[in-house]
Amino acid sequence: MTTTFSMARVNNMDRATFVEVFGQVYEESPWVAERAWEQKPFADRTALANAMEQVVRAAGSDQALALFRSHPRLGIVASMSDYSREEQAGAGLGAAGEEDRRVLAELNDEYEAKFGFPFIIAVRGHTPASIIKACSSRLSTDRELEIQQSLEQVCKIAGLRLADLIRE
């Protein structure tokens, strides 16, 4: 079970503790938490989520692409954060059938070849079939739109992770 924190406790954290607790909210990107810490105190979880999102949106394109590339491929057994492992398992990707895995692997390959980073979607509430459908659909977009879509998805993922960590 994940430890949850009150906003009072969050606002009383020193920088090192804050980064330790929130450094993986944006996948493998503790720099987001480190920069957001400077905006303390946060009125509530939404204010913290907004501060972190502003940090990501203000980052340069190289840093945003590095953030996208830090996300694991969906449906692939690989080294990944505890968050990603739980989220993918919750969407049924760990138990997906061989055909779904094959199709998803092919779509991942095509997506990465086209856009230069892995397909990203907030998988909570999704199934392997809906993830495959979303990836297929997003393959028809242009790179600029897909960068925006991926940015929206990483922010949504972070918001869900923060909701797990902070009680209000």
Is pLDDT of 4 > 80? yes
Q: Which two tokens stand for residue 118?
A: 């892995």
pLDDT in the model for residue 1? 47
pLDDT digits (tens, 9 = 90+) for 73-94: 887 656 556 676 676 666 656 6
pLDDT digits (tens, 9 = 90+) for 24-35: 999 999 999 999
Q: Which domains does the chain have, with CATH numbers?
A: 7-165 (1.10.3330.10)
Site of tokens 């692409």: 65
Q: Cα–Cα distances in Å, from 66 out to 39, 98, 137, 159? A: 23, 30, 23, 19
CB atoms within 10 A of CB 152: 14
The residues carrying an active-site annotation are: 71
Stated pTM of the model: 0.89
Element at 97 (helix H, strand E): none
The region of weakest confidence among 39-53, 85-99, 125-139 is 85-99
